[in-house]
């Protein structure tokens, strides 16, 4: 039988909390949500949008081993009482970090961080025991939860770190104390909060501040902010800096890359060694994703050939460019669901995938939701999407959100089929417009609501057949 993730004794040592009653218990996992709680989990009653203490009775009824709480008047069962539950979770994370010999990797960036994190987890699992952030658990509770859930015998762990404001990544990186810290790319996301690309680079570079002594800082060589990132890395505990990209001096250099609907193939030079690879995910951005993965993997002790083998097994996740055939009438159309989130850089990359996908006698259709948190430059950034739309030879465009008005104004002819303030209002026109043989690409910021359109298309009475 596997060792428990947490014993009552360890949890007390980690948090300096109090057991009520003084029972011993073993927890096999940690949960902050009773809807997904598994029997044997330690339930953490976070006080966030809702007070987790209200759900302790439900957690116990579902088989929780104990509850991490800040007060005892919240129902039956074993309790570990601490002063504040989020800090208690952070304390568990620090203890889990220190009791493990795992090589810890932290990943951030304006685009690509979840895809790269998932691919790194696949690479690490191919060579040993690995632990990774679930979904996009990359915020003030997601990172400590992920670190606290790390099994003690983990060989390598990879944590995703996100932010909306300066200072947030510093706190997360200091908690995780990664041996390797990666920045995928600096792009105009969160400009509304941070004000400039330089400020975005500074906020992302906070990931280097938590580096373990003799750690490795990894960042893109081709980025406009590369020099700024290098300066931050130089002032951190990093003993090594690895740059990736097409630049001649990059430690991991993209030598060649071609992409199509079935994915991309290319070669990279990894510390002077040329390695071929295939990645079954489409888009030109995967050249840089792959280079970042090779750089991070080699820094974590995985050789380039093993990384290439593992890369060939990955797939695009839900809402991140996954393609499927959706039955429609006597045929089908292709749905490219890239609806998880959007900024100008990821929009351009996603539209390049649409352009590389050949319709089977139909049209290329783009369903785009507004991009949020871009600040004063938002109108120009939305209007600038006209160029990647043209480059992708898009035949028809559906737009959602007030922020898309500049692009709607810039579209000429009859390419703009519908423009609505609310994404859901596009559904009737879109469903009646789609025909067999079409390729439908869906992307926008989460709050734009276009992810609901992607889900509707995939689950429509058309019926969906998953592909690949």
Task: Give yes or no: residues 290 and 439 share one domain.
Answer: no
* Average pLDDT, integer, range 353-368: 92
* 377 and 234 belong to one structural domain: no
**pLDDT(321) > 80:** no
292 and 399: one domain? no
| Domain identity same for 356 and 428 | yes
> Is there a single domain that holds both residue 343 and residue 306?
no
β partners of residue 100: none
Residues 239 and 145 in one domain: yes
Q: Is residue 316 part of a domain?
A: no
Q: Please tell me whether the overall predicted TM-score, pTM, comes out greater than 0.75 for this model.
A: yes
CATH number at residue 60: 3.40.1390.10
Q: Are residues 119 and 54 in the same domain?
A: no
CA distances to 28, 125, 128, 453, 462 from 1, rounded to whole Å, are: 11, 21, 20, 45, 46
Question: Looking at 91, 112, 127, which one is the last position of a domain?
Answer: 91
Name the percent of the chain lying above pLDDT 70: 96
Parent domain of 296: 100-311
Number of domains in the chain: 3
- Residue 341 pLDDT class (50, 70, 90 cuts): confident
Residues 228 and 247 in one domain: yes
Peptide bond preceding 21 in cis form (omega within 30 of 0): yes
Q: Which of 273, 288, 311 is the last residue of a domain?
A: 311
Looking at 43, 62, 91, which one is the last position of a domain?
A: 91
* 103-108 sheet: strands from edge to edge: 130-132, 156-160, 103-108, 180-183, 215-220, 238-245, 252-260, 263-270, 273-279
Q: What is the per-residue pLDDT across 177-234, written as a single tens digit (0 to 9) for each?
A: 999 999 999 988 766 777 788 999 999 999 999 999 999 999 999 999 999 999 999 9
User: Domain check: are 153 and 297 in the same one?
Assistant: yes
In a domain, 326, yes or no: yes
**Residue 441, class by beta-carbon neighbours within 10 Å (0-12 exposed, 13-18 middle, 19+ buried)?**
buried
Do 267 and 277 meet the contact criterion of CB atoms below 8 Å apart? yes
Give the percent of the chain with pLDDT over 90: 76
Residue 1 lies in a domain: no
**The domain that contains 378 carries what CATH number?**
3.90.190.20
What confidence category does residue 88 fall into, taking pLDDT thresholds of 50, 70 and 90?
A: very high
Per-residue CA distances from 148 to 39, 41, 210 (Å): 18, 12, 17
Is 317 part of any domain?
no
Residue 205: per-residue pLDDT: 97
Question: Is the same domain home to 237 and 127?
Answer: yes
Tokens for 37, please give them: 């709680």
**Which pLDDT value is given to residue 339?**
87
**How does the average pLDDT of the chain come out, rounded?**
92
Same domain for 240 and 376, yes or no, is no
Residue 1 has a pLDDT of 53
**Same domain, residue pair 247 and 133:** yes
Q: What is the pLDDT of residues 390-438, one digit of tens each?
A: 999 999 999 999 999 999 999 977 899 999 999 999 999 999 999 999 9
β-pair type (322-328, 464-465): antiparallel
User: 385 lies in a domain?
Assistant: yes
Confidence band, pLDDT 50/70/90 cuts, at residue 134: confident
CATH number at residue 146: 3.40.1190.10
Nearest CA among 146, 214, 222 for reference residue 180? 214
Contact at 8 Å (CB) between 339 and 315?
A: no
């Amino acid at each position: 039988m596997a060792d428990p993730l947490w014993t009552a004794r360890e949890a007390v040592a980690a948090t300096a909390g109090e057991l009520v009653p003084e029972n011993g218990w073993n927890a096999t996992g940690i949960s902050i949500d009773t809807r997904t709680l598994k029997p044997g989990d330690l339930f953490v009653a976070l006080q966030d949008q809702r007070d987790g203490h209200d759900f302790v009775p439900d957690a116990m009824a579902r088989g929780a081993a104990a509850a991490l709480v800040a007060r005892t008047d919240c129902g039956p069962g074993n309790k570990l009482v601490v002063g504040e539950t989020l800090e208690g979770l952070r304390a568990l994370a620090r203890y889990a970090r220190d009791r493990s010999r795992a090589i810890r990797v932290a990943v951030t960036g304006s685009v690509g961080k979840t895809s790269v994190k998932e691919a790194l987890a696949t690479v690490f699992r191919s060579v040993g025991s690995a632990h990774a952030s679930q979904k996009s658990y990359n915020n003030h509770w997601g990172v400590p939860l992920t670190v606290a859930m790390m099994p003690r015998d983990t060989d390598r762990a990879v944590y995703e770190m996100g932010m909306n404001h300066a200072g947030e990544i510093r706190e997360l990186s200091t908690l995780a104390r990664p041996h390797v810290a990666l920045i995928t790319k600096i792009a105009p996301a969160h400009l509304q909060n941070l004000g400039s690309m330089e400020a975005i680079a500074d906020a992302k570079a906070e990931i280097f501040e938590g580096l373990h002594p003799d750690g490795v800082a990894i960042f893109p060589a081709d980025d406009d902010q590369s020099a700024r990132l290098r300066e931050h890395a130089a002032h951190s505990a990093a003993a090594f800096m690895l740059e990736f990209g097409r630049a001649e001096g990059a430690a991991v250099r993209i030598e060649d890359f071609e992409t199509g609907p079935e994915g991309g193939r290319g070669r990279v030079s990894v510390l002077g060694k040329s390695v071929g690879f295939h990645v079954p995910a489409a888009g030109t951005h995967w050249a840089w994703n792959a280079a970042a993965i090779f750089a991070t993997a080699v820094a974590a002790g995985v050789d380039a050939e093993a990384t290439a083998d593992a890369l060939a097994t990955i797939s695009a996740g839900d809402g991140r460019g996954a393609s499927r055939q959706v039955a429609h009438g006597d045929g089908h159309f292709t749905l490219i669901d890239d609806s998880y989130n959007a900024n100008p850089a990821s929009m351009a990359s996603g539209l390049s995938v649409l352009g590389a996908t050949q319709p089977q006698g139909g049209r290329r259709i783009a369903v785009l939701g507004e991009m949020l948190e871009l600040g004063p430059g938002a109108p120009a950034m939305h209007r600038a999407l006209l160029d990647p739309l043209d480059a992708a030879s898009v035949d028809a465009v559906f737009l959602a959100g007030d922020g898309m008005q500049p692009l709607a104004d810039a579209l000429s002819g009859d390419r703009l089929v519908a423009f609505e303030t609310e994404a859901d209002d596009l559904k009737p026109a879109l469903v009646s417009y789609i025909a067999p043989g079409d390729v439908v690409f869906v992307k926008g910021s989460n709050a734009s609501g276009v992810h609901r359109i992607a889900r509707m298309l995939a689950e429509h009475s058309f019926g969906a057949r998953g592909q690949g």
